[in-house]
Amino acid sequence: MMQEPVKITRANAETCEAALKSLRDHLEVLAQKTKTYPVECVFGEYRFVFTSRADITRLIDVLSAQLAAFRQAA
C-alpha cells in the first residue's frame, strides 16, 4: 500500500491534514468498498491503493504521526 514514505512539509501540511480528516470521516465507507474492489486515494503528490481496512488505518496512523511530529517541530 505505502509505496513511499509520507513527508510533511509547510507546502503540503494543509493538504495532508485535509486528507487525514477525510480518511477518518469516511473510514467505514472506504473499508466497505475495499471488500468489492481496490480503492484509490490521491492527495498532493501521493497515491495510495487500499485493498483492506488495515491499509486505510495504516495510512491514518502514518499521517497522524507525521503531522504530530511536524507540528512539534514547528
User: What percentage of the chain's residues is helix, strand, coil (to nearest 5)?
Assistant: 55, 15, 30
Answer yes or no: is 63 within a domain. Answer: yes
**CA distance linking residue 41 with residue 30, whole number of Å:** 10
Question: Can you give the residue range of the structural domain that contains 14?
Answer: 10-24+52-74
| pTM (two decimals) | 0.90
Q: What is the pLDDT of residue 66?
A: 95
Give the pLDDT of the chain (74 residues) as one tens digit per residue. Answer: 555 578 999 999 999 999 999 999 999 999 999 999 999 999 989 999 999 999 999 999 999 999 999 999 97
3-state class (DSSP) for residue 19: helix
**CA distance linking residue 65 with residue 59, whole number of Å:** 10
For residue 43, give the nearest of 68, 66, 67, 16 by alpha carbon.
16
Answer yes or no: is 46 within a domain. Answer: no
Answer yes or no: is 31 within a domain. Answer: no
Answer yes or no: is 59 within a domain. Answer: yes
- Domain total in the chain: 1
Q: What is the pLDDT of residue 4?
A: 58
